[in-house]
């Protein structure tokens, strides 16, 4: 990569360079959700970014602007920065490390079987780069890592180089999948964890455009930065777990979680986000990070009991909600159930730890056949789920089904043609485990509608579905249609 000092570039995504117009040479190790998004955004801000990933196939695809993950807006941004020469995908680290000012590590940190995190990818990345760094370069850990990791990596790199000239800083990432670019460009805060003043100063320079825009910056030690990331994810997951429990209570008390969550969330000290009930949180982050938080607490003698309970409750919830499908729809061996939504949330193709991965096998073990549809995640699900029949559209999936379970809040599902869906099915039970449909509309279309944290509705009889007064169908009759 040619040297590129003092290039001024406005940055189409809106970060802009800092006021001195400094363009840094940046290397991104790991080109997944975080590495690719961060690298692309920094390239768009005028820096020269070289992304490297050990997955050679991924690198080959990316060089042709073929984006292996679904992330709204990412393809356009990669294409623009690639063609502008700001972004490169390197097949070898030797091509880009010699000139690099800042090297981000954004590789995976999966769970180990004991719940703690597996740091082997991060350590391998540090070993890979250690000898090739230019003196004074800064290594920045973007991956989510447990407290003390940056300090360990500094020692590891110093051992390989026989010199401690390389600083290791922490810059945890708070982006959400599906909103990655927007979250990166408009962060609530930037956290800079540095144990050496020079490392902190370099990161402040890099993030100066954010600082100039008034984004709060927390400059602290590496250990604190590492703890901030875990505590933030644990707290957000706790909010989700809490509202799921409150939803269960609403059902038993004859309440409705909608107004309850609204009334609670309007308290500014609580806030209204992350108060939507669902089938249990999933994804590549909350489940793994809460497990790691628990494991760290145990290891360091400061047990995190709230989060321990949360982890357990969240996994139980997925199983209980699967059993509820069998029970409430009266499913029997040989029936077919249809899952709409396989990704752990909308706007991503990521199925890691999604509710579908736990719930589908529960139904299959009870002898129920499973069909599924997802606008983006079917390819990723195929390798993780056995014996599922995939369909190109929700209606095709629902053909002959005894029950439909809506698991992901995709826009496409919010505007389902309920009349068409009802006609395709043999049964009538619709489980809306994201509370995205209108209960009355579902009942009017002949569904027995089951959602979270509010009363289930029986189907409105056809003769009266136009709105005339009439008694409700005998639920027993409705249940008979299921078998």
What is the token pair recorded at 149? 């990791």
* Separation between Cα atoms, residue 89 and residue 31, nearest integer Å: 9
Give yes or no for residue 247 binding ligand NAD (CB under 6 A): no
Give yes or no for residue 144 binding ligand UGA (CB under 6 A): yes
Q: Are 186 and 158 in contact (CB under 8 A)?
A: no
Give yes or no for residue 230 binding ligand UGA (CB under 6 A): no
285 as an active site residue: the answer is: yes
Q: Look up residue 471 and give its DSSP letter.
A: P
How near is the Cβ of 314 to ligand UGA at its closest, in Å?
9
How near is the Cβ of 363 to ligand UGA at its closest, in Å?
20
Q: Provide the β-strand partners of residue 117.
A: 111
How near is the Cβ of 432 to ligand UGA at its closest, in Å?
13
* Separation between Cα atoms, residue 115 and residue 321, nearest integer Å: 24
Residue 1 or 175 having the CB closest to ligand UGA? 175
* Separation between Cα atoms, residue 343 and residue 339, nearest integer Å: 11
Give yes or no for residue 453 binding ligand NAD (CB under 6 A): no
H-run or E-run covering 278:
none
Give, as ranges, the residues between 12 and 41 that touch ligand NAD (CB under 6 A): 29-35
What is the token pair recorded at 217? 């910056």
How near is the Cβ of 69 to ligand NAD at its closest, in Å?
7
The separation between CA 476 and the C-alpha centre of its own chain, rounded to angstroms, equals 41
Residue 101 binds which entry of ligand NAD, ligand UGA, none, with Cβ cut-offs from 5 to 8 Å by kind?
A: none
Q: Which of 52, 70, 207, 281 binds ligand UGA (CB under 6 A)?
A: 281
* Separation between Cα atoms, residue 151 and residue 413, nearest integer Å: 47
Closest listed residue to residue 58, CA positions, set 81, 33, 25, 86: 33
Residue 281 binds which entry of ligand UGA, ligand NAD, none, with Cβ cut-offs from 5 to 8 Å by kind?
A: ligand UGA
Give, as ranges, the residues between 275 and 304 that touch ligand NAD (CB under 6 A): 284-285
* Separation between Cα atoms, residue 67 and residue 167, nearest integer Å: 32
Give yes or no for residue 343 binding ligand NAD (CB under 6 A): no
Length of the chain: 483
Residue 157 or 191 having the CB closest to ligand UGA? 191
Give yes or no for residue 240 binding ligand UGA (CB under 6 A): yes
* Separation between Cα atoms, residue 137 and residue 128, nearest integer Å: 15
How near is the Cβ of 201 to ligand NAD at its closest, in Å?
24
Give, as ranges, the residues between 87 and 106 that touch ligand NAD (CB under 6 A): 106
Site size for ligand NAD, by CB under 6 A? 28
* Separation between Cα atoms, residue 219 and residue 434, nearest integer Å: 38
In three-state secondary structure terms, 48 is strand
Near ligand UGA by CB under 6 A, which window of 6-14, 15-23, 173-181, 334-342? Answer: 173-181
Q: Which of 144, 167, 220, 435 binds ligand NAD (CB under 6 A)?
A: 144
Give yes or no for residue 121 binding ligand NAD (CB under 6 A): yes
Give, as ranges, the residues between 36 and 65 that touch ligand NAD (CB under 6 A): 52-55, 58
User: Which segments within 394-480 are labelled E, that is strand?
Assistant: 403-406, 429-432, 448-451
Give yes or no for residue 67 binding ligand NAD (CB under 6 A): no
Residue 286 or 473 having the CB closest to ligand UGA? 286
How near is the Cβ of 336 to ligand NAD at its closest, in Å?
33
Task: Choose, from 9, 41, 96, 285, the residue flagged as catalytic.
Answer: 285
Give yes or no for residue 9 binding ligand UGA (CB under 6 A): no
Residue 159 or 262 having the CB closest to ligand NAD? 159
The separation between CA 407 and the C-alpha centre of its own chain, rounded to angstroms, equals 15
Give, as ranges, the residues between 168 and 187 that touch ligand NAD (CB under 6 A): 173, 175-177
Q: Provide the β-strand partners of residue 89.
A: 51
Instruction: Kindly provide the b/e burial profile for residues 202-212, where b requires at least 16 CB atoms within 10 angstroms of the residue's own CB.
Output: bbbebbbbbbe
Residue 124 or 156 having the CB closest to ligand NAD? 124
How near is the Cβ of 80 to ligand NAD at its closest, in Å?
21
How near is the Cβ of 160 to ligand NAD at its closest, in Å?
14
- Starting at the earlier edge strand, list the strands of the sheet with 25-29: 87-89, 48-52, 25-29, 102-105, 138-141, 167-170, 190-193, 217-220
Instruction: Kindly provide the b/e burial profile for residues 146-177, where b requires at least 16 CB atoms within 10 angstroms of the residue's own CB.
Output: bbebbbbbbebbeebeeeeebbbbbbbbbbbb
DSSP for 50-102, written as a single string: EEE-S-HHHHHHHHTT--SS--TTHHHHHHHHHHTTSEEE-SSTHHHHTT-SE
List contacts with ligand NAD (CB under 6 A): 29-35, 52-55, 58, 106-109, 121, 124-125, 128, 143-144, 173, 175-177, 284-285
Q: Active-site residue numbers? A: 285
List contacts with ligand UGA (CB under 6 A): 144, 173-177, 233, 236, 240, 274-276, 278, 281-283, 285-286, 289, 344-345
């Amino acid at each position: 990569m040619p040297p590129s000092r003092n290039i001024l570039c406005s940055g189409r995504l809106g970060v802009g360079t800092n006021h001195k117009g400094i363009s840094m040479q940046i290397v991104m190790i790991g080109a997944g959700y975080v590495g690719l998004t961060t690298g692309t955004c920094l390239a768009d801000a005028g820096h020269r970014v070289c992304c490297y990933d050990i997955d050679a196939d991924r690198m080959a695809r990316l060089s042709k602007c073929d984006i292996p993950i679904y992330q709204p807006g990412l393809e356009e941004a990669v294409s623009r920065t690639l063609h502008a020469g700001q972004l490169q995908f390197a097949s070898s680290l030797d091509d880009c490390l010699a000139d690099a000012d800042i090297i981000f590590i954004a590789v995976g940190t999966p769970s180990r079987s004991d719940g703690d995190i597996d740091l082997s990818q991060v350590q391998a990345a540090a070993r890979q780069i250690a000898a090739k760094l230019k003196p004074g370069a800064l290594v920045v850990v973007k991956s989510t890592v447990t407290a003390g990791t940056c300090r360990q990596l500094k020692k590891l790199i110093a051992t390989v180089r026989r010199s401690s000239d390389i600083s290791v800083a922490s810059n945890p990432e708070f982006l959400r999948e599906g909103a990655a670019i927007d979250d990166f460009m408009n962060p609530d805060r930037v956290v800079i964890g540095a144990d050496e003043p020079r490392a902190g100063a370099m990161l402040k320079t890099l993030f100066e455009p954010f600082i100039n825009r008034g984004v709060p910056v927390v400059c602290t030690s590496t250990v604190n930065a590492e703890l901030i990331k875990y505590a933030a994810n644990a707290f957000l997951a706790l909010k989700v777990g809490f509202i799921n429990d409150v939803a269960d209570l609403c059902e038993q008390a004859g309440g409705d979680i909608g107004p309850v969550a609204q009334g609670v969330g309007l308290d500014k000290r609580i806030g209204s986000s992350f108060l939507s009930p669902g089938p249990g949180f999933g994804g590549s982050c909350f489940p793994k990070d809460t497990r790691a938080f628990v494991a760290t607490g145990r290891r360091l003698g400061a047990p995190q009991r709230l989060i321990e309970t949360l982890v357990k409750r969240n996994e139980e919830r997925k199983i209980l909600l699967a059993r509820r499908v069998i029970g409430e729809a009266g499913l029997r061996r040989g029936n077919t159930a249809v899952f709409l939504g396989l990704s752990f949330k909308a706007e991503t193709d990521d199925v890691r730890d999604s509710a579908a991965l736990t719930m589908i096998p529960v139904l299959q073990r009870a002898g129920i056949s499973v069909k599924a549809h997802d606008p983006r995640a079917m390819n990723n699900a195929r390798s993780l789920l056995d014996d599922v029949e995939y369909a190109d559209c929700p209606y095709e999936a629902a053909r002959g089904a005894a029950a439909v379970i809506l698991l992901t809040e995709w826009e496409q599902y919010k505007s389902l043609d309920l009349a068409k869906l009802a006609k395709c099915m043999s049964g009538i039970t619709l489980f809306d485990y994201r509370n995205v449909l209108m209960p009355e509309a579902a009942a009017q279309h002949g569904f027995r509608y089951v959602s979270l944290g509010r009363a289930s509705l029986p189907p409105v009889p056809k003769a009266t579905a136009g709105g005339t007064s009439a008694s409700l169908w005998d639920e027993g009759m409705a249940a008979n249609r299921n078998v």
